[in-house]
Amino acid sequence: MTFQKESVFNTAKTWIKDIGQVIRTEIDQPRQIDTKTHPNDLVTEMDKKVEQFFAEKIRTEYPDHQILSEEGFGDDVKALSGTTWIIDPIDGTMNFIHQKRHFAISVAVFHDHIGEIGFVYDVMGDVLYAAKNDEGAYKNDERLQSLDEKKNLTESIYLFNTLWTTENNIVDDKKIRELVKTVRGVRTYGSAALEFCYLAEGIADGYVSFTLHPWDFAAGAVILKEVGGVIKHANGRDLTFLTQEPLVAGHKDVVDRTLTHYIELK
Ligand code: 2AM
Ligand code: CA
Ligand code: CA
Ligand code: CA
Protein backbone atom coordinates (compact mmCIF):
# COMPACT_ATOMS: atom_id res chain seq x y z
CA MET A 1 0.00 0.00 0.00
CA THR A 2 1.51 3.35 -0.98
CA PHE A 3 1.59 6.05 1.65
CA GLN A 4 0.35 9.49 0.62
CA LYS A 5 2.52 11.43 3.03
CA GLU A 6 1.67 14.95 1.84
CA SER A 7 -2.05 14.33 1.75
CA VAL A 8 -2.15 12.56 5.14
CA PHE A 9 -0.08 15.41 6.62
CA ASN A 10 -2.48 18.08 5.34
CA THR A 11 -5.57 16.15 6.41
CA ALA A 12 -4.19 15.52 9.92
CA LYS A 13 -3.24 19.17 10.27
CA THR A 14 -6.78 20.29 9.41
CA TRP A 15 -8.31 17.85 11.91
CA ILE A 16 -5.92 18.95 14.67
CA LYS A 17 -6.66 22.64 14.12
CA ASP A 18 -10.42 22.00 13.96
CA ILE A 19 -10.64 20.01 17.21
CA GLY A 20 -8.17 22.41 18.86
CA GLN A 21 -10.64 25.22 18.17
CA VAL A 22 -13.39 23.16 19.85
CA ILE A 23 -11.21 22.66 22.96
CA ARG A 24 -10.45 26.40 23.19
CA THR A 25 -14.13 27.26 22.88
CA GLU A 26 -15.08 24.80 25.64
CA ILE A 27 -12.10 25.33 27.97
CA ASP A 28 -14.14 27.00 30.74
CA GLN A 29 -17.03 24.54 30.70
CA PRO A 30 -17.52 22.26 33.73
CA ARG A 31 -15.45 19.07 33.39
CA GLN A 32 -16.39 15.50 34.04
CA ILE A 33 -13.23 14.17 35.71
CA ASP A 34 -12.63 10.45 36.26
CA THR A 35 -9.59 8.61 37.60
CA LYS A 36 -7.93 5.61 35.99
CA THR A 37 -5.08 3.64 37.70
CA HIS A 38 -4.66 5.96 40.72
CA PRO A 39 -6.20 9.17 42.16
CA ASN A 40 -3.91 11.46 40.12
CA ASP A 41 -4.29 9.53 36.85
CA LEU A 42 -7.02 11.67 35.32
CA VAL A 43 -9.26 11.57 32.29
CA THR A 44 -12.04 13.93 31.25
CA GLU A 45 -14.92 13.82 28.81
CA MET A 46 -12.78 16.04 26.55
CA ASP A 47 -9.90 13.50 26.32
CA LYS A 48 -12.45 10.96 25.11
CA LYS A 49 -14.27 13.35 22.79
CA VAL A 50 -11.03 14.39 21.07
CA GLU A 51 -9.81 10.80 20.65
CA GLN A 52 -13.21 9.74 19.32
CA PHE A 53 -13.12 12.64 16.84
CA PHE A 54 -9.82 11.37 15.39
CA ALA A 55 -10.88 7.71 15.44
CA GLU A 56 -14.09 8.44 13.48
CA LYS A 57 -12.29 10.64 10.95
CA ILE A 58 -9.49 8.09 10.39
CA ARG A 59 -11.85 5.11 10.09
CA THR A 60 -13.91 6.97 7.48
CA GLU A 61 -11.06 8.50 5.48
CA TYR A 62 -8.42 5.74 5.85
CA PRO A 63 -10.20 2.47 6.71
CA ASP A 64 -7.01 0.40 6.30
CA HIS A 65 -4.98 2.46 8.82
CA GLN A 66 -4.62 1.37 12.46
CA ILE A 67 -4.84 3.56 15.55
CA LEU A 68 -2.73 3.34 18.71
CA SER A 69 -4.18 5.72 21.30
CA GLU A 70 -4.61 6.33 25.01
CA GLU A 71 -8.30 6.43 25.82
CA GLY A 72 -9.65 3.21 24.28
CA PHE A 73 -11.03 4.20 20.87
CA GLY A 74 -8.04 2.77 18.98
CA ASP A 75 -6.98 -0.72 17.96
CA ASP A 76 -4.93 -3.44 19.64
CA VAL A 77 -1.79 -2.61 17.65
CA LYS A 78 0.82 -5.38 17.65
CA ALA A 79 3.20 -4.16 14.94
CA LEU A 80 3.89 -0.94 13.04
CA SER A 81 3.53 -2.51 9.60
CA GLY A 82 1.16 -0.66 7.27
CA THR A 83 0.05 2.79 8.44
CA THR A 84 -0.49 3.53 12.13
CA TRP A 85 -1.71 6.71 13.78
CA ILE A 86 -0.33 7.12 17.30
CA ILE A 87 -2.53 9.60 19.14
CA ASP A 88 -2.68 11.29 22.52
CA PRO A 89 -5.87 13.36 22.42
CA ILE A 90 -4.77 15.53 25.36
CA ASP A 91 -1.21 15.24 26.63
CA GLY A 92 -1.07 16.97 29.99
CA THR A 93 -4.60 16.25 31.21
CA MET A 94 -3.70 17.58 34.67
CA ASN A 95 -2.63 20.88 33.10
CA PHE A 96 -5.82 20.88 31.00
CA ILE A 97 -7.97 20.50 34.14
CA HIS A 98 -6.10 22.67 36.63
CA GLN A 99 -4.20 25.24 34.60
CA LYS A 100 -6.23 25.37 31.40
CA ARG A 101 -3.01 25.75 29.38
CA HIS A 102 0.23 23.88 28.60
CA PHE A 103 -1.42 20.78 27.19
CA ALA A 104 -1.19 19.39 23.68
CA ILE A 105 -2.71 17.17 21.04
CA SER A 106 -0.05 14.69 19.91
CA VAL A 107 -0.45 12.87 16.59
CA ALA A 108 2.17 10.76 14.82
CA VAL A 109 1.78 8.70 11.67
CA PHE A 110 4.09 5.75 11.18
CA HIS A 111 4.32 3.84 7.91
CA ASP A 112 6.04 0.46 7.78
CA HIS A 113 7.84 1.03 11.10
CA ILE A 114 9.10 4.53 10.21
CA GLY A 115 7.84 7.72 11.89
CA GLU A 116 6.81 9.74 8.82
CA ILE A 117 4.71 12.54 10.36
CA GLY A 118 4.65 14.20 13.77
CA PHE A 119 2.36 16.93 15.13
CA VAL A 120 2.27 18.39 18.62
CA TYR A 121 -0.29 21.17 19.01
CA ASP A 122 -0.09 23.53 21.98
CA VAL A 123 -3.81 24.21 21.91
CA MET A 124 -4.11 27.33 24.09
CA GLY A 125 -0.92 28.87 22.71
CA ASP A 126 -2.03 28.01 19.14
CA VAL A 127 1.48 26.76 18.39
CA LEU A 128 1.75 23.79 16.05
CA TYR A 129 4.99 21.82 15.98
CA ALA A 130 5.08 19.69 12.83
CA ALA A 131 7.57 17.48 11.06
CA LYS A 132 7.85 15.14 8.13
CA ASN A 133 10.57 12.51 8.07
CA ASP A 134 13.69 13.96 6.35
CA GLU A 135 11.88 17.22 5.51
CA GLY A 136 12.56 19.25 8.65
CA ALA A 137 10.57 20.35 11.70
CA TYR A 138 8.52 23.52 12.03
CA LYS A 139 7.08 25.65 14.82
CA ASN A 140 4.10 27.18 13.02
CA ASP A 141 5.74 28.60 9.84
CA GLU A 142 9.25 28.83 11.25
CA ARG A 143 11.72 26.05 10.48
CA LEU A 144 13.55 24.75 13.56
CA GLN A 145 17.34 24.93 13.37
CA SER A 146 19.58 21.93 13.95
CA LEU A 147 20.73 21.55 17.54
CA ASP A 148 24.19 22.83 18.52
CA GLU A 149 27.16 20.64 17.60
CA LYS A 150 28.17 20.10 21.25
CA LYS A 151 26.44 20.42 24.62
CA ASN A 152 27.92 20.02 28.11
CA LEU A 153 25.68 18.51 30.76
CA THR A 154 26.76 21.29 33.14
CA GLU A 155 25.27 23.88 30.74
CA SER A 156 22.07 21.94 30.11
CA ILE A 157 18.46 22.57 31.03
CA TYR A 158 16.85 19.30 32.02
CA LEU A 159 13.14 18.41 31.85
CA PHE A 160 11.44 15.74 33.87
CA ASN A 161 8.79 14.89 36.40
CA THR A 162 10.41 15.76 39.74
CA LEU A 163 8.80 12.63 41.24
CA TRP A 164 11.84 10.78 39.87
CA THR A 165 14.01 12.51 42.47
CA THR A 166 11.95 10.90 45.24
CA GLU A 167 12.06 7.26 46.23
CA ASN A 168 10.41 5.08 43.59
CA ASN A 169 10.54 1.50 42.41
CA ILE A 170 11.63 2.15 38.84
CA VAL A 171 14.92 4.06 38.87
CA ASP A 172 17.76 4.82 41.33
CA ASP A 173 16.59 8.21 42.70
CA LYS A 174 20.04 8.94 44.17
CA LYS A 175 21.50 9.00 40.66
CA ILE A 176 18.69 11.25 39.45
CA ARG A 177 19.45 13.69 42.28
CA GLU A 178 23.10 13.65 41.15
CA LEU A 179 21.88 14.52 37.66
CA VAL A 180 19.85 17.42 39.10
CA LYS A 181 22.95 18.73 40.88
CA THR A 182 25.08 18.42 37.74
CA VAL A 183 22.88 20.21 35.22
CA ARG A 184 22.37 23.98 35.06
CA GLY A 185 18.62 23.88 35.74
CA VAL A 186 15.55 21.68 35.84
CA ARG A 187 12.04 22.39 34.53
CA THR A 188 8.79 20.41 34.73
CA TYR A 189 6.05 21.42 32.29
CA GLY A 190 3.62 18.52 32.71
CA SER A 191 3.22 17.67 29.03
CA ALA A 192 5.75 15.19 27.70
CA ALA A 193 4.74 15.89 24.09
CA LEU A 194 5.47 19.61 24.49
CA GLU A 195 8.69 18.85 26.37
CA PHE A 196 9.99 16.93 23.33
CA CYS A 197 9.23 20.02 21.23
CA TYR A 198 11.19 22.21 23.66
CA LEU A 199 14.13 19.83 23.15
CA ALA A 200 13.67 20.22 19.38
CA GLU A 201 13.61 24.01 19.74
CA GLY A 202 16.88 23.81 21.68
CA ILE A 203 15.39 25.69 24.67
CA ALA A 204 15.97 22.57 26.79
CA ASP A 205 18.57 19.86 26.34
CA GLY A 206 17.65 16.67 28.18
CA TYR A 207 14.58 14.73 29.22
CA VAL A 208 14.04 11.50 31.13
CA SER A 209 10.89 9.58 31.87
CA PHE A 210 10.37 5.95 32.74
CA THR A 211 6.65 5.33 32.29
CA LEU A 212 5.68 7.00 29.03
CA HIS A 213 3.60 5.28 26.35
CA PRO A 214 4.00 5.55 22.57
CA TRP A 215 1.27 8.20 22.34
CA ASP A 216 3.30 10.44 24.65
CA PHE A 217 6.52 10.33 22.62
CA ALA A 218 5.83 9.19 19.02
CA ALA A 219 5.11 12.61 17.52
CA GLY A 220 7.84 14.24 19.60
CA ALA A 221 10.32 11.65 18.35
CA VAL A 222 9.57 12.49 14.70
CA ILE A 223 10.00 16.22 15.41
CA LEU A 224 13.16 15.81 17.49
CA LYS A 225 14.89 13.64 14.89
CA GLU A 226 14.61 16.41 12.28
CA VAL A 227 16.89 18.74 14.29
CA GLY A 228 19.44 16.04 15.10
CA GLY A 229 18.10 15.23 18.56
CA VAL A 230 17.84 11.67 19.81
CA ILE A 231 15.40 9.58 21.80
CA LYS A 232 16.54 6.26 23.24
CA HIS A 233 15.26 3.50 25.44
CA ALA A 234 16.90 3.77 28.88
CA ASN A 235 18.84 0.61 28.00
CA GLY A 236 20.50 2.58 25.15
CA ARG A 237 18.65 0.78 22.35
CA ASP A 238 15.96 2.03 19.96
CA LEU A 239 12.39 2.40 21.17
CA THR A 240 9.76 -0.02 19.82
CA PHE A 241 6.92 2.59 19.85
CA LEU A 242 4.56 -0.27 20.75
CA THR A 243 4.51 -0.29 24.54
CA GLN A 244 5.37 1.64 27.71
CA GLU A 245 9.14 2.32 27.62
CA PRO A 246 11.64 4.14 29.88
CA LEU A 247 13.48 6.73 27.79
CA VAL A 248 16.06 9.48 27.57
CA ALA A 249 15.81 12.24 24.95
CA GLY A 250 17.46 15.44 23.82
CA HIS A 251 20.84 16.61 22.55
CA LYS A 252 22.97 13.57 21.63
CA ASP A 253 25.79 14.56 24.04
CA VAL A 254 23.33 14.98 26.91
CA VAL A 255 21.61 11.67 26.15
CA ASP A 256 24.98 9.88 25.98
CA ARG A 257 26.19 11.31 29.32
CA THR A 258 22.86 10.59 30.99
CA LEU A 259 22.77 6.97 29.83
CA THR A 260 26.39 6.37 30.83
CA HIS A 261 26.36 7.98 34.29
CA TYR A 262 22.90 8.68 35.67
CA ILE A 263 20.37 5.98 34.82
CA GLU A 264 20.10 2.79 36.80
CA LEU A 265 16.83 0.95 36.36
CA LYS A 266 15.74 -1.24 39.29
P1 2AM B 1 -1.21 12.50 29.97
O2 2AM B 1 -1.57 13.83 30.48
O3 2AM B 1 -1.60 12.26 28.55
O4 2AM B 1 -1.65 11.37 30.85
C5 2AM B 1 3.12 14.54 32.85
O6 2AM B 1 4.32 14.56 33.52
C7 2AM B 1 3.27 13.72 31.59
O8 2AM B 1 3.27 12.34 31.94
C9 2AM B 1 2.18 13.91 30.60
O10 2AM B 1 2.73 13.77 29.32
C11 2AM B 1 1.20 12.81 30.95
O12 2AM B 1 0.40 12.42 29.87
C13 2AM B 1 2.12 11.72 31.36
N14 2AM B 1 1.51 10.85 32.37
C15 2AM B 1 0.53 11.16 33.22
N16 2AM B 1 0.20 10.14 34.03
C17 2AM B 1 1.02 9.14 33.67
C18 2AM B 1 1.18 7.81 34.14
N19 2AM B 1 0.45 7.29 35.12
N20 2AM B 1 2.13 7.06 33.55
C21 2AM B 1 2.87 7.58 32.56
N22 2AM B 1 2.77 8.83 32.09
C23 2AM B 1 1.86 9.61 32.63
CA1 CA C 1 -3.47 10.08 30.82
CA1 CA D 1 0.27 11.70 27.41
CA1 CA E 1 -3.44 11.90 27.34
Ligand 1 atom closest to residue 94's alpha carbon, by position in its atom list: 2
Mean pLDDT, the chain, rounded, equals: 98
ipTM given for this complex: 0.96
> pLDDT confidence of 94, banded at 50, 70, 90?
very high
- What is the average pLDDT across 125-136? 98
What is the distance between the alpha carbons of residues 46 and 51, in angstroms, rounded to a whole number?
A: 8
Query: In the prediction, which pLDDT does 35 show?
Result: 98
Give the number of other CB atoms < 10 A from CB of residue 242.
15
Ligand 1 in contact with 41 (CB < 6 A)?
yes
Question: Looking at the whole model, is its pTM more than 0.90?
Answer: yes
Tell me what pLDDT residue 1 has. Answer: 72
Nearest ligand 1 atom to the CA of 40 is 16
> Is residue 17 predicted with pLDDT exceeding 90?
yes
Residues 6+ apart with CB under 8 A from 97: 31, 33, 42, 44
Binning pLDDT at 50, 70 and 90, where does residue 259 land? very high
157 is an annotated ligand-binding site residue = no
Q: Which ligand is nearest to the CA of 37?
A: 1
Listing DSSP states for 169-220 in one string gives SSB-HHHHHHHHHHSSEEE--S-HHHHHHHHHHTS--EEEESS--HHHHHHH
Does 51 have pLDDT greater than 90? yes
- pLDDT at residue 40 greater than cutoff 90: yes
pLDDT digits (tens, 9 = 90+) for 217-256: 999 999 999 999 999 999 999 999 999 999 999 999 999 9
**pLDDT score of 128 more than 80:** yes
| pLDDT number for residue 181 | 98
pLDDT band at residue 91 using 50, 70 and 90 as cut-offs? very high
88 lines ligand 1 (CB under 6 A): yes
**pLDDT the model gives residue 152:** 98
Give the confidence band of 109 by pLDDT, cuts at 50, 70, 90. very high
For the chain, which domains are there?
A: 5-143 (3.30.540.10), 153-261 (3.40.190.80)
Is the model's pLDDT at 265 over the cut of 90?
Answer: yes
Is any ligand 1 atom within 6 A of the Cβ of residue 190? yes
Per-residue pLDDT tens digits for 172-223: 999 999 999 999 999 999 999 999 999 999 999 999 999 999 999 999 999 9
